Each structure stands twice: as structure tokens, then as C-alpha cells.
A = this chain, B = another copy of it.
């Protein structure tokens, strides 16, 4: 266990395996209890070892955001992959998707008739490239209005594509107190989309919702698949949204106090380690794992400035502290590896296999 090859200079990312495994199992149980399929989003962790745990716990397949993530996970042996993204498919991407379709069951998101036509044209309209129609349930980023899903499904089928169903991402669940309403929006929009399939004479096998904040509101109803991602690690966002408790956080940036002044310390983990995500409602750029009242009040590329609670003594220079990033997906995508900790001891290193796989 005290393996010298596992010694790391700060800053680095550490994963508490016990917490991770508990989170993986809790979401698998939630999906079983609610009678929905679980297709976790692996953009969060980009690690083969974690995806393997998720499928081992009963996930029906994986969700990815990009073609290159799909390629990397297909090469790693995953056989059921959904690219939950409205790809624009030119000839080069079409060739990559055809190759992927030979290696795994592949689904792709679409949200326009133009994208359907481009996908069909550049994959020779093969029925084994299946699509899900993306609908907007209130996040207003991508997706058609729910009532238009059936019409687009018909267009996709006419273009020779296999149409499996509908999906949405309730991104507006990322607001304090907003998750339950977003989950209701999600269920309503997916229900309307499925109904519009029926009106158009199309079958709708898959009705897929997303997001860690809304997962706990998933209930019997139109939704039959969920795609949460962040739940494996959790982060300061999920904590401040009330989606998780402090004890459910599996990922921390391990950092050293390099400077101190009145009421604050500076750590050597900046935005290039933690990520710079900061929603308007967040209380800072991150939290301290063992000091609930401390806040990362300023962030540079290589410095996190922490406001220290006045009731506590400032930590010494050289003290090593755990920082909880605001957004685990962003932090992990900055790291080439994760140090896995078991019962407090460094155990093994996992490669962030799909780090930077955006293309």
C-alpha cells in the first residue's frame, strides 16, 4: 500500500474508493427501485475503471458527449453507447460513426431535420445508426419543442435511420431549489414527446432523462431511462444544491498551503486543477473537505485563495488540505490521472482515459 510510485506532489486529484462505490451502488439501487434503466454519463469521470463499476452495478450502457469519447470507450470494450449530443455529421465524422457502429450498439442525438439528413447522408442511412430525438424541457439549450419530436422522428425514419425514442437534459435543475420543478418539466416534456411519436405513428422505446439533481425525482411515468453523471463523485455544486451530503463527496483536489495572510490562506490548486466553473448561486470556487465554513473566494490559474473561518486557527504553511471542486466533470478533465485512496491509503492510479476527448 505504501507504494513509493504512488507518491505525488500537490496538487493532484484523489478519489475515495469507498465513497465512490457507495455512490455507484446507490444510484443503481435508485434506478432499480424506480424501474428505470440507468445509462450513466461517463463524461464525468472518463475512466474505464469507473464505467466498469457502473455497468457491473447494472447500468444498461453508457452515455458520452462526443464522438471521441465513444471511440475510446468502445475501444475499452463498452458495447452500448449513446452520444447524447446533437452531432453535426460531415463525411469524416460519418466514417467514424460507421466504424463505431460496427463495434458497439450506437445511438446518437438529433434535434433538426438538417442534422438528420446529414447523418443519413454520411452514414449511408444505415438502420444500425440509431437516433434519439432531443427535446427541450426548459433548459433552452438544444432540442426541439416536445410536440415536434414525432415529426422529426418520421423524417429520421424516412431518411433510413433507426429511431429509438426521445431524450432531454433538464439543465435548469442546476439552481437551488429548482430540481423538483425541473424534474416535473422533464417528465412532462418527455411525456409530450412520446405522445407526439404515437400521433405520428412512430414507436418510442426509449424515454431518457438526465442529471444528477433530478434523478431522485424520477418516478414511474413516461421516463424509462436516466443518465446522471456527477453522482459518482459529487462536488461543491451538488452539495450546495442539496443533492448530496458532505460524506458523499468522493473527489478532492489535494493541495498545499503556500502562503498566508490575515484570515486567508493560498493553496497551490488553482483553476487549472479545480476548473473555473462558478455558477452565480455558488458560495465560492470550491469548498474545503474538512472545513465546512471555509470558502475558495478567489481563483487564479495556480492559486486558490481561501477565506478561513475566523473561529479557527489558520492552517500552517505546508499543510495539505482537500479541496472539493465546484464541478467534478471540469476538474477531472484537467487531470491525466486520479489517485485512488482506500481507507485513507493511496492504492492505485486510474488513467483519465478520455481526458480532452472533445472531437
* A65 to B302 CA separation, bound complex (whole angstroms): 7
> Within 8 Å CB of A143, what residues of B?
259
Is A115's CB under 8 angstroms from B258's CB? Answer: yes
A318 touches B272 (CB 8 A): no
Q: A261–B111 Cα gap in the complex (Å)?
A: 11
Cα–Cα, bound, A258→B140 (Å)? 14
Could you tell me if A356 and B330 are in contact, using CB atoms closer than 8 angstroms?
no
Report how far A300 CA is from B171 CA in the complex, Å.
9
Q: List the B residue with the shortest CB-CB distance to A113.
A: B317
Asked if B114 and A318 sit within 8 Å, CB to CB, the answer is yes
A278 CA / B282 CA spacing, docked (Å)? 14
Query: From residue A227, how far is it (CB to closest CB) to chain B in Å?
Result: 14
Q: Is the CB of B358 within 8 A of A317?
A: no
For the complex, is A266 an interface residue (Cβ under 8 Å from B)?
Answer: yes
For the complex, is A182 an interface residue (Cβ under 8 Å from B)? no
Give the residues from 47 to 73 in chain A that come closer than 8 angstroms, CB to CB, to chain B: 65-68
Q: How far is the CA of A12 from the CA of B271 in the complex (A)?
A: 21
Min CB–CB distance A326 → chain B (angstroms):
9
Best-buried of A96, A259, A329, A334 by chain B (most CB within 10 Å): A259
What 0/1 readout, one digit per residue, does chain A (243-265) give for beta carbons within 8 Å of chain B?
00000000000001111110000
Q: Is the interface of A mostly helix, strand, loop or mixed?
A: loop
* A120 CB → nearest B CB, Å: 14
Residues of chain B contacted by A260 (CB below 8 angstroms) = 112
Report A291-309 CB contacts with B as 1/0, cut-off 8 Å.
0000000101111010000
Known A-B contacts A7-B92, A258-B142, A268-B88; A356 and B335 likewise in contact (beta carbons under 8 Å): yes
Closest to A267 in B: B88
Least Cβ–Cβ distance between A352 and chain B, in angstroms? 10
- Residues in B neighbouring A141, C-beta threshold 8 A: 259, 266, 298, 300, 303, 305
CB neighbours (8 Å) of A112 from chain B are 259-260, 317
Q: What chain B residues lie within 8 Å of A68 (beta carbons)?
A: 9
Given A88-B258, A112-B260, A301-B330, 11 further pairs, Cβ under 8 A = A7-B92, A9-B96, A11-B358, A65-B302, A85-B268, A86-B259, A87-B258, A88-B257, A271-B277, A273-B358, A276-B278
- By a beta-carbon cutoff of 8 Å, the part of chain A in contact with chain B is 7-12, 43, 65-68, 85-88, 90, 92-93, 96, 111-112, 114-115, 118, 140-143, 171, 256-261, 266, 268-269, 271-273, 275-278, 298, 300-303, 305, 316-318, 329-330, 333-336, 356, 358-359
In the complex, 10 of the A-B residue pairs with CB atoms within 8 angstroms, ordered by the A residue number, are: A9-B67, A87-B258, A88-B256, A88-B317, A112-B259, A141-B300, A143-B259, A271-B277, A271-B330, A335-B356
Q: Which 6 pairs from chain A and chain B are nearest by CB?
A: A9-B359, A142-B259, A276-B276, A114-B317, A65-B302, A276-B277
